[in-house]
């Protein structure tokens, strides 16, 4: 779906709130902090900006952010988990402003982390930007996944298959989906005004996953570390415009 300039302006405002949540939660990440505290920090930003959460209540999700440490890929529920030195933590969050959605995620280290963890974070973020770079009028949507997959697999990593990016607008998850790998069939042709959440989930090991008994937490099947980066991005005649920025 193509959004008007007015709609994209609203999504820019939602995206800015999401970026402020990123900034505030990043600043709060340190050994000894619970993931519940990160959720409080995010909720304070939403409240201060008069924005609504698109995570809280989503299929019953109980928080405004997802917090997924180490071998948890996505959808972790904030709670009593205490961050420890050497952890990596993925934080995913969104906001609704005037009915329009933003959605973005990052992975950060807690204190000093291993070289292997640092490399995973660096490569996953680079794979996100390689995907974003493909969001240009006339390109096909599957080029995003091809670009993400090329970066991640060149590093020897596994690209998660079961969870993918998505179009976004007046709902957080709109069609079409945006796989982070070659899906086997060409995607639709991109036009200016389309908006997508691009979100590679990359594992040091295999791409296979399983879900914990809480019904939410998605884990790597082999216990390897996983990272997740996401931005909400508009296709424009001047190239990709990242909306989830300050
Ligand atoms: Mg997200
Ligand atoms: Mg998303």
What are 95-133's pLDDT values in tens digits?
999 999 999 999 999 999 999 999 999 999 999 999 999
Largest CA distance in the chain: 48
* Section 30-42 average pLDDT: 98
Which pLDDT score, from 0 to 100, does residue 87 have?
98
156 alpha carbon – ligand 1 mean position (Å): 24
Which pLDDT score, from 0 to 100, does residue 176 have?
98
232 alpha carbon – ligand 2 mean position (Å): 8
d(CA 11, CA 97): 7
Which pLDDT score, from 0 to 100, does residue 196 have?
98
4 alpha carbon – ligand 1 mean position (Å): 23
Check residue 234 and report its DSSP letter: E
Confidence (pTM): 0.98
63 alpha carbon – ligand 2 mean position (Å): 15
Ligand nearest to the CA of 172: 2
Which pLDDT score, from 0 to 100, does residue 157 have?
98
The band of 180, judged by pLDDT with boundaries at 50, 70 and 90, is very high
3-state secondary structure (DSSP) of residue 111: coil
Given this structure, which CATH class describes domain 5-242? alpha beta
* Section 161-168 average pLDDT: 98
Instruction: Give the rounded percent of residues in the chain with a pLDDT score beyond 90.
Output: 100
């Amino acid at each position: 779906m193509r959004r008007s300039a007015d709609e994209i302006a609203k999504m820019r405002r939602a995206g800015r709130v999401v970026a402020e949540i990123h900034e505030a939660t990043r600043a709060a990440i340190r050994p000894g902090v619970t993931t519940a505290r990160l959720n409080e920090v995010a909720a304070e930003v939403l409240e201060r900006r008069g924005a609504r959460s698109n995570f809280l209540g989503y299929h019953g999700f109980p928080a405004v952010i997802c917090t997924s440490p180490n071998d948890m890929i996505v959808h972790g529920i904030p709670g009593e988990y205490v961050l420890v030195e050497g952890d990596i933590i993925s934080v995913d969050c969104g906001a609704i402003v005037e009915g329009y959605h933003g959605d973005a995620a990052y992975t950060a280290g807690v204190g000093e982390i291993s070289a292997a963890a640092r490399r995973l974070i660096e490569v996953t973020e680079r794979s996100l930007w390689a995907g974003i770079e493909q969001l240009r009028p006339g390109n096909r949507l599957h080029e995003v996944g091809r670009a993400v997959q090329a970066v991640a697999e060149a590093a020897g990593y596994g690209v998660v298959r079961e969870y993918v990016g998505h179009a976004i607008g007046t709902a957080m998850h709109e069609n079409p989906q945006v796989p982070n790998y070659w899906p086997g069939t060409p995607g639709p042709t991109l036009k200016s005004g389309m908006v997508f959440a691009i979100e590679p989930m990359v594992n040091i090991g295999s791409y296979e996953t399983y879900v914990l008994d809480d019904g939410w937490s998605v884990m790597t099947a082999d216990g390897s570390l996983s990272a997740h980066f996401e931005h909400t991005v508009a296709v424009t005649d001047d190239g990709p415009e990242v909306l989830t920025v300050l």
